[in-house]
């Protein structure tokens, strides 16, 4: 079946403004697997105009919350029936191992839909509270308007859903700009939205590159930008939105730390770290790629981690046994390899991996999963987000030192502590400045807010907080206070 497309999803299916195309290339074979239209600024103008009409004059914002919930519930059922297809498309276009794709790339977006539906059913869309002047006040949550949703390529559906579903439930209309590397999953989503009964113009999808994305961010018809991506891009978006007083939420980078205390079950810890540090081949903003081990237990942790990483299967992302797939693009492969070389130049010791293609592979954008020992937290490999399967094991003196090192980062997105004493772990969790944290585990609960401290972003996704971020608050005074 051909995955090629020749239309864009703007007010329904429509021809693109130009004949420019994006080639979707398999990171495993380096071959073109599909061609789709490349969106232009003219396409973005049409998409924003369609979303603007749908918001200003269309039925969607004027439906009751329960009516919108019914439509999104339709979407949930349709999405659940296509989880396998969605996972396969994402593995094909960006190289996510099928094991991870079927665990997270498609089920987690569906779980978000279900979680937001539950939240929306209990959300205080309009409530009355006693006023300080003696008369009641009506407080309403109203939709923020036209939303520009800009997801990255690493978990494309996951990051679309964290924006799209709460925006739709709030009554907003949306322009989604998928990354040019991963447009195919968005086409499948467009079909599901249409089948679910979402009116034309309420959601518009234009895959394009950075310049077109900047045009969308700065567009005067957009009321809010919701972005997931690099901290550098987030700073630029924040500046543009700040100039326009445009609402913005940013989920950005991370360089998270996993603290391994001496009383941790080492076998269970290493098994957990294989996921928390190397999920999606290390291409995850929450990946805990700084592994902190006490000096007394340092060599033991390094050896156990090295043995585990050396045994991970690297290769074809469509093979269910594969644990580490390719990088999304050649430029990302080159970026990760430059960091591996840099780590050696900085004096860190390669215990496993290093430069060169993994054994048995002669094509594809692969790097060898790498564990560095003798890492100082001031090294660039410990401070900068690499976004690949590269781990740095850093020694600490005591718990206070471990917390200091974990916090010694411009980022503050995620983290874990591994210990035999959960109460002590909870105390560590309270001290680390990160938006999400795990004790002997790491996960995301879609009923709870997700986001970062410091350079890891602004605002929160998921939970009631994530839904509220797509609303504006209005206070209505219904009667004059009684005369004193």
Indicate if the pLDDT at residue 483 is higher than 90.
no
In 3D space, the residue among 202, 385, 422, 402 whose CA is nearest the CA of residue 291 turns out to be 402
DSSP assignment letter at 39? P
* Alpha-carbon span 72 to 196, nearest angstrom: 7
Write down the pLDDT at residue 482: 59
Both structure tokens of 16 = 């693109």
Indicate if the pLDDT at residue 484 is higher than 80.
no
Reported as a pLDDT band with limits 50, 70 and 90, residue 481 is low
Domain 8-252+456-475 is found in CATH 3.40.605.10: yes
Write down the pLDDT at residue 478: 84
CA of residue 257 relative to chain centroid, distance: 18
* Alpha-carbon span 80 to 103, nearest angstrom: 13
Active-site residues, by number, are 251, 285
Three-state DSSP class for residue 282: helix
Task: Compute φ and ψ for 72, nearest 5 degrees.
Answer: -70, -30
* Alpha-carbon span 136 to 131, nearest angstrom: 5
Three-state DSSP class for residue 178: coil
H or E stretch at 369: strand 368-373
Indicate if the pLDDT at residue 70 is higher than 90.
yes
Contacts of 48 (CB under 8 A, 6+ apart): 146, 175, 204, 216, 219, 221, 222
Write down the pLDDT at residue 479: 77
CA atoms within 13 A on the CB side of 59: 9
CA distances to 9, 223, 382, 457, 458 from 232, rounded to whole Å, are 29, 22, 18, 11, 13
Q: In terms of C-beta density within 10 A (0-12 exposed, 13-18 middle, 19 or more buried), how is residue 428 classed?
A: buried
Mean pLDDT of 462-472: 98
Long-range contacts of 102-108, Cβ-Cβ distance < 8 Å, separation of 24 or more:
104/155, 104/158, 104/279, 104/280, 105/155, 105/157, 105/158, 106/82, 106/157, 107/83, 108/155, 108/158, 108/444
Mean pLDDT of 95-108: 97
Burial letters for 357-381: b for 16+ Cβ neighbours within 10 Å, e otherwise?
A: ebeeeeebbbbbbbbbbbbebebeb
Q: Are 166 and 116 in contact (CB under 8 A)?
A: yes
Reported as a pLDDT band with limits 50, 70 and 90, residue 402 is very high
Three-state DSSP class for residue 158: helix
Considering the chain, what is the average pLDDT of its residues? 97
In 3D space, the residue among 203, 80, 189 whose CA is nearest the CA of residue 147 turns out to be 203
Both structure tokens of 92 = 């094909």
Reported as a pLDDT band with limits 50, 70 and 90, residue 1 is low
Write down the pLDDT at residue 2: 81
State whether the Cα torsion 329-333-336-338 is positive or negative.
negative
Q: Which pLDDT tens digit goes with each residue over 443-462?
A: 999 999 999 999 999 999 99
The domain spans of the chain are 8-252+456-475, 257-439
Q: Which pLDDT tens digit goes with each residue over 404-439?
A: 999 999 999 999 999 999 999 999 999 999 999 999
Write down the pLDDT at residue 413: 98
DSSP assignment letter at 62? G
Separation of first and last alpha carbons in the chain: 76
Q: Which pLDDT tens digit goes with each residue over 176-225?
A: 999 999 999 999 999 999 999 999 999 999 999 999 999 999 999 999 99
Instruction: Classify domain 257-439 at the CATH superfamily level.
Output: Aldehyde Dehydrogenase; Chain A, domain 2 (3.40.309.10)
State whether the Cα torsion 313-319-323-329 is positive or negative.
positive
* Alpha-carbon span 72 to 172, nearest angstrom: 13
CA distances to 58, 154, 367 from 281, rounded to whole Å, are 43, 10, 10
Q: Which pLDDT tens digit goes with each residue over 128-174?
A: 999 998 899 999 999 999 999 999 999 999 999 999 999 999 999 99
Mean pLDDT of 304-319: 97
């Amino acid at each position: 079946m051909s995955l090629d497309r020749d239309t864009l999803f703007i007010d329904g299916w429509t021809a693109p403004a130009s004949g420019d195309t994006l080639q979707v290339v398999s990171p495993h074979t380096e071959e073109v697997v599909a061609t789709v239209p490349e969106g232009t600024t003219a396409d973005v103008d049409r998409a924003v105009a369609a979303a603007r009409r749908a918001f200003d004059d269309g039925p969607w914002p004027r439906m009751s919350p329960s009516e919108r919930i019914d439509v999104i519930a339709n979407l949930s059922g349709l999405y659940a029936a296509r989880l396998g297809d969605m996972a396969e498309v994402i593995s094909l276009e960006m190289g996510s191992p099928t094991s991870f794709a079927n665990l997270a790339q498609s089920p987690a977006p569906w779980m978000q839909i279900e979680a937001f539906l539950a939240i929306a059913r209990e959300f205080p869309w309009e409530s009355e509270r006693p006023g300080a002047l003696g008369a009641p006040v009506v407080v309403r949550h109203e939709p923020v308007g036209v939303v520009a949703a800009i997801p990255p390529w690493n978990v494309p559906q996951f990051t679309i859903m964290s924006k799209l579903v709460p925006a739709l439930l709030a009554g907003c209309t949306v322009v989604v700009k998928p990354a040019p590397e991963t447009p195919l999953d968005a086409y499948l989503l467009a079909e599901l939205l249409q089948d679910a009964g979402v009116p034309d113009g309420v959601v518009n999808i234009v895959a394009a590159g950075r310049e077109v994305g900047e045009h969308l961010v700065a567009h005067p018809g957009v009321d809010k930008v919701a972005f997931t991506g690099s901290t550098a891009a987030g700073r630029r978006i924040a500046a543009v939105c700040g100039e326009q007083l445009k609402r913005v939420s940013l989920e950005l980078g991370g360089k998270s730390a996993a603290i391994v205390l001496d009383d941790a079950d080492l076998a269970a810890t290493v098994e957990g770290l294989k996921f928390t540090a190397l999920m999606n081949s290390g291409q995850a903003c929450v990946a805990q790629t700084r592994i902190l081990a006490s000096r007394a237990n340092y060599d033991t942790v390094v050896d156990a981690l090295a043995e585990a990483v050396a045994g991970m299967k690297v290769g074809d992302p469509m093979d269910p046994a594969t644990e580490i797939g390719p990088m999304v693009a050649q430029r990302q492969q080159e970026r990760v390899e430059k960091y591996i070389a840099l780590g050696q130049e900085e004096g860190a010791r390669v215990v496993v991996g290093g430069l060169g293609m993994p054994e048995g592979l002669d094509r594809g954008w692969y790097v060898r999963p790498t564990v560095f020992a003798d890492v100082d937290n001031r090294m660039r490999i410990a401070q900068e987000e690499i976004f690949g399967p590269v781990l740095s094991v850093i020694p600490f003196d005591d718990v206070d030192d471990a917390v200091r090192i974990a916090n010694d980062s411009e980022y503050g997105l995620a983290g874990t502590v591994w210990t035999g004493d959960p109460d002590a772990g909870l105390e560590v969790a309270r001290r680390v400045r990160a938006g999400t944290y795990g004790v002997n585990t790491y996960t995301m609960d879609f009923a709870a807010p997700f986001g970062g401290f410091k350079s890891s972003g602004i605002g929160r996704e998921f939970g009631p907080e994530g839904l509220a971020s797509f609303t504006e608050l209005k206070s209505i005074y219904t009667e004059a206070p009684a005369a004193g």
